[in-house]
Chain A
């Protein structure tokens, strides 16, 4: 039973990290109907920015905050530049927008492979992150708590932002009817850039989190693209454009993956956890083709 609790917490932690990735994708899709393939390389660049920052920082517990900030800012900056230079000229052409993000991902991952090689780099992490907290008889890695905390914080921030701020209201209105919002004299283009920057910030942070908590503190050029596929699955299960749906789906996917990997490992298939996630997706789509909380129109 107690193992079950520990497994559950690690599944929720994994789900929280998936949510960080999926929230940005879902937000961008909800407003702009752009499926952002470059999100994968935003994740990777965030992790590399964190790696670079950690190189120059003294190894103390608090400096991890700076590392995380570097990853977040790098993700936001790359995403904003992407929106301005590549997405903006293609407004009104959704397929071209998807294709351009694919090309960008290809090019940037290639550049990272050229610069860093295909070997992984180790990110310096503070001692508290690799330690465990003991609750009752259970040892829970602090990384799991960090992931859960960040997931909750981002969910809270995004919900507050979308519900109560002026730009949040513009974004929600724009997702409903973009033409009407522009007709009211509101600069929707600025909201687009903002949404990309927010999505990129979440991605940068998620990329770092994925490296330090779920990939033994290693970062390599193709890491983000592997993670992106799970984020896509989460977004589709949750319903395209729904942040709450993404959150529920992320936890579901994280739990399924961890339970199957842990309890069905006698099957001899190491990737069974990953494959079962695809099965969940297939079932959800059979029952609800638009995902759990997808819009019906």
Chain B
């Protein structure tokens, strides 16, 4: 047992450390650029998702904020899927819990922000512990489908508008009366942008620390072979539950930041299974089990989705022939097709492509 633990906690070989050092420098540079971005009113034609071609316009900052939120949630999902090898289809449940409970506490019950946040996290923790313990009884595919079913039950619940809390199909617009002034109003979009960025950085740091620890090594062992890890003497259940709870809490926190940025929640936007599918696609597109891959995948996914919607809404788009217009007007079609191509030809995702390029060098 001790022997195994030492082996599991061993540092990676020197070559790998060197390679990741270059990656770390790139990461820090990108982070600094992201922090100062709201101060740059550069004019960038064509590629921005906002309606104006200015880099720090409200529209673009909002989209980038969303990118960061989902990047954080995707890194959280990577803990469960990429590092522990557990394929859950219920991640949206915790995201939706974060957005809905915070919204209800602020808007319907008029709670102060801090108390509302603590309540949301507490409910998220209990939910993840209970449902994690229950769903982890199922193995492999059964686990996937049961998590899906519970998330769907939550979707039905919020759609039903119990006690007039959730607003049913139309959702619930957040009341800003309990928020501090610097988070309210179009003029403060950059503060929300930084909030989302802070959420991503914090999430990334936590996931980086935990996946690098002894616990993280056991997760990898579970991913590679549950049976072997079990034979080595580990009780797997606490490790699996730990991975599940960490991943879920990150999703809950992401849901809260999402609410603050978007200002409203609805079943189809935050509680439907399509959100889980998007998160899964982001992680796989970026490269599961690599952390930064999930970030890259999420940013590419959300950015493309918002950008394509903007392009499809442009007047000149309507003059395209139907053969081109119909598929191009649907981000889901393009993202789905790109995803299929990646699975077939680049199963390691974006991170895998980068690693392959480095090896050739």
Contacts and interface: CB of A to CB of B under 8 A. Distances in A.
A286 B137 contact: yes
B332 A113 contact: yes
10 contacts: A96-B347, A102-B281, A107-B333, A109-B336, A111-B333, A229-B148, A269-B157, A271-B160, A285-B142, A289-B139
Nearest to B325: A114
Given A111-B330, A114-B326, A278-B153, 6 more contacts: A96-B343, A115-B326, A232-B149, A285-B137, A285-B138, A286-B134
Contact of B148 (A93, A232, A289): A232
Contacts of B153: 274-275, 278-279
Interface of A: 29, 33, 35, 86, 89-90, 93, 95-96, 98-100, 102-111, 113-115, 225, 229, 232-233, 235-236, 240, 268-272, 274-275, 277-279, 281-282, 285-286, 289-291
A270 B160 contact: yes
Contacts of B334: 107, 110
Interface in B131-150: 134, 137-139, 141-142, 144-146, 148-150
Nearest to A107: B336
Nearest to A97: B343
B263 interface: no
A109 B327 CA distance: 11
Contact of B333 (A35, A114, A289): A114
Interface string B196-220: 0000000000000000000000000
Interface in B303-341: 325-327, 329-337, 339-340
Nearest to A111: B333
For the complex of A and B, the 5 pairs showing the least CB-CB separation, nearest first, are A107-B336, A106-B336, A110-B333, A110-B332, A271-B156
Contacts of A274: 152-153, 156
B326 A102 contact: no
A100 B138 contact: no
Contact of B162 (A35, A89, A269): A269
B63 interface: no
Contacts of A89: 344
Contacts of B145: 35, 232-233, 235-236
Contact of B142 (A107, A240, A277): A240
B87 interface: yes
Given A225-B273, A233-B149, A286-B134, A106 B332 contact: yes
A114 B339 contact: no
Contacts of B347: 93, 96
Interface residues of B, number: 42
A106 B341 CA distance: 13
Given A104-B336, A106-B336, A35 B142 contact: no
B74 interface: no
A48 to B, nearest CB: 14
A270 B156 CA distance: 9
A286 to B, nearest CB: 7
B141 A240 contact: yes
Contact of B343 (A99, A115, A235): A99
Contact of B277 (A102, A235, A275, A282): A102
Given A100-B340, A113-B332, A274-B156, A285 B146 contact: yes
B89 to A, nearest CB: 9
B280 interface: yes
A289 B138 contact: yes
Nearest to A33: B141
Contacts of B333: 106-108, 110-111, 114
Nearest to B152: A229
Interface in B170-228: none
A113 B156 CA distance: 23
A272 B148 CA distance: 17
Contacts of B331: 110
B149 A110 contact: no
B344 A114 contact: no
Nearest to A89: B344
B161 to A, nearest CB: 9
A105 B340 CA distance: 10
A176 to B, nearest CB: 18
B331 to A, nearest CB: 7
Interface in B337-361: 337, 339-340, 343-344, 347
B256 interface: no
A240 B332 CA distance: 30
Nearest to B329: A114
A32 to B, nearest CB: 12
A35 B336 contact: no
Contacts of A29: 141
Contacts of A98: 87
Contacts of B139: 289
Contacts of B326: 111, 114-115
- Which of B160, B273, B334 is packed against the most chain A CB atoms within 10 Å? B160
B159 interface: yes
Contacts of A271: 156-157, 159-160
Given A229-B152, A235-B145, A285-B134, A95 B339 contact: no
A88 to B, nearest CB: 11
A275 B332 contact: no
B284 A110 contact: no
A229 B329 contact: no
Nearest to B335: A106
Contacts of A272: 160
